[in-house]
Structures are given as structure tokens and as C-alpha cells.
């Protein structure tokens, strides 16, 4: 009898605790169902159908995997754009992350006027998204002059091969805008550096380590989690880059009569799958390097 009473009380206590937690989570849970889960399910459904717009709604025609097949077999633009953009991303991500690392290392130093510099480097966060950026880009405000002045194209072709030369040149030609994409990453790095205890640096300095050593032995290993975080963030951020040709292609196909929403959804899912593989790969690599480090120490 007594144990039963205790159990009942215990259950009551738990349900109350669960209740409060659920209450806090409730808005998100409802929102997730309405604004994420249903649309995702619907989008998958559409990608498996040929969707035509008829007055008063959509007409679905069973299509199976045909949309996905068409993307690679019939569509002769999409695969090329997809591969090109992923190539560009593979080049852009390291540029952004390494640049952000260098800048944040410099900004992390103590020197007079660093607040001004910090403000400047966070400025792109304000407008590196959206329409202003593409407006600037179409007008060539992000160009760097030396690209044409020194005629780098042949040199690039010589070093990386014809196949990747256009990719490299594309990325180089908008390098300023790419650097603008490192605002948030710089913030993450700076915040990350704060978590490294300054006493470690003092200790190794007393032991006679040069700044060079302390960078390679302390700062870099300690920032591996932030590097991985930044790589992930950059991939996701570039995923919806406003000048992204893949997204443009998807959008174009939504409004074409012969392809429509079903095909566009299929394209979007293919794109998502590619990025997802990329993200999974990054996570796996970083996990491995972290584990290796942990095993060594």
C-alpha cells in the first residue's frame, strides 16, 4: 500500500516535471509539425508526382522516381551546375574558414583601436545576405582589379589543369564577396579563443615555447571543434548563397509548365542529398581527428 502511494506520487511528480518541460517546448513542437514536418512530407510526395496547377489546387499524377531520373538523364543543365557549384564550394569553404581563422587570430590580439577593426569585420554580417549583395555583385563592386591586370587565367590553367581552371577563376573573381561571408565565422572563432585558458599560454611561455609553437601546439588543437563548427556553418550558409546557380535553376523549373513543382522538389531533394553527404563527411572526418587526439593524449 505504502509503496503504491510512493509510486503514485513519483509518477505525479514526473508527469508534473514533464508537463512543465513540454509546456516550454510546446510552441516549437506545434510549429515543427505545421511548418516543417507537413511541408517536408508534402514535398517528398510532390517529388514523386507530376504536379500540375489546375484552378482551385494541384493535380497529382503518379510519377515514381521519374523526376529523379529526369534530373540526371533529360536535364542537361542541372547535373553540370550541381557539380560545378559543389566544386566551387569545396574551394570556398576552406578559403572562408582559413581566412576567418587568420583574421580572428589577429583581432584576438590586444592593440589600441581593435574595436574599430572588429566593427569593420562584423560589418558584412549586416549585409552579406540578401539583395544588396547581388546588386553589388552584378555591378562588379566586389571585383578585385589585379585579376584582369595580371591576366591570371593562363597561370591558373597551368597549375590546376583546364578542368578546374574555370572553377578557380570563378571563385577568385568573387573572392571579396566570399570573404564577406566570413563574418559569423570570425565571431565564432573569437568566441572560441576565449574558452582557451590564458594560463596555458603562460605556462608554455615559461617553458620556452615560441608563439609559433604555442599556436601549433595549443591554439590550433583547441580550436578544432570551432573549425568543424565553422566548416559546417559555412557549408550550410553557402547552401543558400544568393548567387547560387543551382537554386536559380530549381526556381526556374518551378514555373516551367512541362516540369513544375514536382520536378523542382525532386531537384531540391537531390541538392539537399549532396550537401547532406558533404556535411556527414565533414562530421566524420572531424570526429575521427578528435578521437585520434583523445587516444594519443
Q: Which of 6, 22, 73, 98 binds another protein (CB under 8 A)?
A: 22
Residues 178-197 that bind another protein (CB under 8 A): 179-180, 187-188, 190-192, 194-195
119 binds another protein, rule: CB under 8 A: yes
Nearest CB to another protein, comparing residues 122 and 164: 122
279 binds another protein, rule: CB under 8 A: yes
Q: Which of 6, 7, 11, 31 binds another protein (CB under 8 A)?
A: 31
25 binds another protein, rule: CB under 8 A: yes
Nearest CB to another protein, comparing residues 44 and 74: 44
Q: Which three cell numbers stand for residue 56?
A: 482551385
Nearest CB to another protein, comparing residues 159 and 252: 252
239 binds another protein, rule: CB under 8 A: yes
Task: Let me know: does 245 contact 134? Beta carbons within 8 Å.
Answer: no
| Number of C-beta neighbours around residue 78 at 10 A | 22
The residue range among 3-11, 87-95, 158-166, 269-277 that interacts with another protein, by the rule CB under 8 A, is 269-277
The residue range among 36-44, 65-73, 74-82, 156-164 that interacts with another protein, by the rule CB under 8 A, is 36-44
For the bound state, the minimum distance from the C-beta of residue 95 to another protein, rounded and expressed in Å, comes to 13
205 binds another protein, rule: CB under 8 A: yes
Q: Which of 129, 153, 173, 289 binds another protein (CB under 8 A)?
A: 129
Task: Let me know: does 96 contact 264? Beta carbons within 8 Å.
Answer: no
Q: What is the 3-state secondary structure (H, E, C) of the chain?
A: CHHHHHHHHHHHHHHHHHHHHHHHHHHHHHHHHHHHHHHHHHHHHHHCEEEEEECCEEEEEECCCHHHHHHHHCCCCHHHHHHHHHHHHHHHHHHHHHHHHHHHHHHCCCCCCHHHHHHHHHHHHHHCCCHHHHHHHHCCCCCCCHHHHCCCHHHHHHHHCHHHHHHHHHHHHCHHHHHHCCHHHHHHHHHHHHCCCHHHHHHHHHCCCCHHHHHHHHHHHHCHHHHHHHHHHHHHHHHCCCCCHHHHHHHHHHCCCCCHHHHHHHHHHHHHHHHHHHHHHHHHHHHHHHHHHHHHC
The Cα 102–Cα 114 span in angstroms is: 15
255 binds another protein, rule: CB under 8 A: no
Give Cα separations from 220 to 103, 186, 196, 243 (angstroms).
Answer: 14, 15, 11, 32
Residues 134-153 that bind another protein (CB under 8 A): 135-136, 138-142, 144
Nearest CB to another protein, comparing residues 22 and 281: 22
Q: Which of 75, 234, 265, 278 binds another protein (CB under 8 A)?
A: 265
Residues 71-110 that bind another protein (CB under 8 A): 102-103, 105-107, 109-110
Q: Which of 8, 11, 42, 252 binds another protein (CB under 8 A)?
A: 42
Q: Which of 2, 24, 55, 149 binds another protein (CB under 8 A)?
A: 24
Q: Which of 6, 7, 36, 203 binds another protein (CB under 8 A)?
A: 36
For the bound state, the minimum distance from the C-beta of residue 165 to another protein, rounded and expressed in Å, comes to 24
158 binds another protein, rule: CB under 8 A: no
Amino acid at each position: 500500500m505504502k509503496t503504491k502511494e510512493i509510486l503514485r506520487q513519483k509518477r505525479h511528480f514526473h508527469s508534473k516535471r514533464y508537463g512543465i518541460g513540454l509546456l516550454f517546448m510546446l510552441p516549437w513542437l506545434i510549429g515543427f509539425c505545421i511548418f516543417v514536418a507537413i511541408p517536408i512530407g508534402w514535398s517528398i510526395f510532390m517529388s514523386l508526382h507530376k504536379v500540375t496547377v489546375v484552378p482551385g489546387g494541384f493535380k497529382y499524377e503518379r510519377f515514381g522516381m521519374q523526376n529523379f531520373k529526369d534530373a540526371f538523364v533529360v536535364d542537361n543543365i542541372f547535373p553540370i551546375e550541381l557539380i560545378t557549384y559543389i566544386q566551387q564550394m569545396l574551394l570556398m569553404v576552406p578559403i572562408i574558414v582559413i581566412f576567418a581563422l587568420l583574421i580572428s587570430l589577429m583581432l584576438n590580439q590586444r592593440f589600441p583601436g581593435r574595436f574599430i577593426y572588429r566593427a569593420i569585420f562584423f560589418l558584412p554580417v549586416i549585409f552579406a545576405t540578401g539583395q544588396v549583395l547581388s546588386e553589388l555583385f552584378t555591378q562588379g563592386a566586389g571585383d578585385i582589379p589585379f585579376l584582369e591586370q595580371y591576366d591570371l587565367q593562363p597561370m591558373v590553367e597551368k597549375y590546376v589543369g583546364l578542368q578546374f581552371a574555370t572553377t578557380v577563376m570563378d571563385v577568385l573573381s568573387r573572392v571579396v564577396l566570399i570573404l564577406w561571408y566570413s563574418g559569423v565565422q570570425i565571431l565564432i572563432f573569437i568566441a572560441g579563443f576565449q574558452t582557451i585558458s590564458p594560463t596555458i599560454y603562460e605556462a608554455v611561455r615559461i617553458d620556452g615555447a615560441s608563439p609559433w609553437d604555442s599556436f601549433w601546439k595549443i591554439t590550433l588543437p583547441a580550436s578544432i571543434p570551432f573549425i568543424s563548427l565553422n566548416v559546417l556553418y559555412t557549408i550550410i550558409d553557402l547552401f543558400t548563397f544568393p548567387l547560387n546557380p543551382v537554386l536559380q535553376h530549381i526556381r526556374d523549373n518551378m514555373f516551367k509548365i512541362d516540369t513544375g513543382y514536382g520536378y523542382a522538389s525532386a531537384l531540391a531533394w537531390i541538392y539537399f542529398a549532396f550537401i547532406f553527404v558533404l556535411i556527414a563527411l565533414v562530421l566524420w572526418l572531424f570526429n575521427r581527428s578528435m578521437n585520434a587526439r583523445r587516444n594519443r593524449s
